[in-house]
Amino acid sequence: MSIDPVVAFFLLGLLGGRMGSDLKLSSGLYDTLTIYLLLAIGLKGGFELAQSSVGALVIPVLVVVAASAVTPVLAYQVLRRGGKLAHPDAASISAHYGSVSVVTYAVGSTYLAQQAVDHDGYMSIFLVFLEFPAIIIGVLLARGMKRDTEWRELAKEVLFGKAIVLLLGALVIGWVWGREGAASLIPFFEGLFKGFLALFLLGMGVMAADRLEDLKRVGGFLIAFGILMPLLSAVGGVLVGWGLGLGEGNTTLLAVLYASASYIAAPAAMRIAIPEANPALSLGASLGVTFPFNLVLGIPAYHWMTKQFFLWIS
């Protein structure tokens, strides 16, 4: 089978949810699995960083973050002009699509490993820095620089939310101690990674099934947006990866990051910054459409897109 078995667990959860099964993960287990995945990805990036030149990554990080600003701005225009969505909803959804999904990145990494395509763990550094810029852009699109925006509370939620704290903290730990110094942690954070990811995806499948109901009230526009916007963003990721001289695996992962949509950091931030936005629209699109699409079809498509582009320019 070409589909990674971890993706099959997501499909199992999705099927169970649609069939009305009582299958679900407790909130405590969901939080535990989220923490584990964030720490595991951060540690792997830190191990790679310990063997790399930090200075050499500064320019690539700046380029990747700057280029990522295109996604929320473009998404906002499409949603406002094409979908005729209200100003707050368009800004909120744009922030979700400009930010990134940690789990989509994790599945992308396992897909490349299954395909025996080399990629570097330091790509998780991009993951860290791509979490928050689109959220800030989304707020600016919705409110400008109005004084009534709770900027302090927003900054606290974005910069000190668990996603950033755990990813960045684990990355630093892996960087300082290195693979040899943290050898006792490797069996847990690497050996069990796919098993924990499978459990998490099982729960995400159930959640995605619930979000499909939200889309029934919206119509076909957001469904089309949830598929076409990631494809367009992935093209940008491939071009940026090629411009930075990244290899096939790393460029594919960058395309995956650009094509993913946040459903952890962005919803929490938008709840504070744009409370009038309807979360059913943003989560219905990002979790109900884009997340399943990326897991089943998108990631293989982005890899194929990268390979074809590299062959064309060679």
- Distance between first and last Cα of the chain: 30
Domain count, the chain: 1
45 in Cβ contact with 110 (< 8 Å): no
Asked, for residue 8, whether it belongs to a domain, the answer is: no
Distances (CA, A) of 127 to 20, 69, 164, 214, 280: 35, 14, 9, 28, 25
Mean pLDDT of 17-41: 89
Asked, for residue 6, whether it belongs to a domain, the answer is: no
Helices 133-143 and 70-77 pack at an angle, to 10 degrees, of 40
pLDDT at 6 over 80: yes
Query: In the chain, pLDDT over 70 holds for what percent of residues?
Result: 94
- Closest by CA to 50, choosing from 150, 142, 174, is 174
34 in Cβ contact with 200 (< 8 Å): yes
pLDDT at 1 over 60: no
| Rounded distance between C-alpha atoms, residue 213 and residue 312, angstroms | 42
What pLDDT is stored for residue 218 in this prediction?
61
What pLDDT is stored for residue 165 in this prediction?
87
pLDDT at 23 over 70: yes
152 in Cβ contact with 161 (< 8 Å): no
Greatest alpha-carbon pair distance for the chain in Å reads 55
What pLDDT is stored for residue 145 in this prediction?
58
pLDDT at 2 over 70: no
Asked, for residue 19, whether it belongs to a domain, the answer is: no
Asked, for residue 142, whether it belongs to a domain, the answer is: yes
- Closest by CA to 47, choosing from 181, 246, 247, 188, is 181
Q: Decide: residue 222, CB within 10 A, 0-12 exposed, 13-18 middle, 19+ buried.
A: buried
Angle (CA) 53 57 62, round 5° = 160
User: What are 191's two structure tokens?
Assistant: 């050996």
69 in Cβ contact with 133 (< 8 Å): yes
User: What are 234's two structure tokens?
Assistant: 């992935």
Mean pLDDT of 48-53: 85
| Rounded distance between C-alpha atoms, residue 196 and residue 101, angstroms | 16
Instruction: Give the gyration radius of the chain's Cα atoms.
Output: 18
Asked, for residue 284, whether it belongs to a domain, the answer is: yes
What is the rounded average pLDDT for all residues in the chain?
89
CATH assignment at residue 108? 1.20.1530.20
Asked, for residue 16, whether it belongs to a domain, the answer is: no
User: What are 143's two structure tokens?
Assistant: 């409110």
- Closest by CA to 234, choosing from 176, 305, 291, is 305
Mean pLDDT of 166-177: 92
The whole domain housing 39 covers 24-305
| pLDDT one-digit tens code per residue, 208-248 | 888 777 666 666 899 999 999 999 999 999 999 999 999 99
Asked, for residue 88, whether it belongs to a domain, the answer is: yes
Query: In the chain, pLDDT over 90 holds for what percent of residues?
Result: 56
What pLDDT is stored for residue 71 in this prediction?
95
| pLDDT one-digit tens code per residue, 266-288 | 887 888 778 888 888 888 899 88
What pLDDT is stored for residue 18 in this prediction?
86
Angle (CA) 277 142 280, round 5° = 20
- Find the DSSP H helices in the chain: 5-18, 27-50, 58-68, 70-77, 87-98, 102-114, 123-129, 133-143, 151-159, 162-181, 186-189, 193-215, 220-243, 248-259, 265-273, 279-285, 291-293, 299-313
| pLDDT one-digit tens code per residue, 92-148 | 999 999 999 999 999 999 999 999 999 988 898 898 889 888 888 888 888 765 666
What pLDDT is stored for residue 300 in this prediction?
96
CA 313 to chain centre: 28
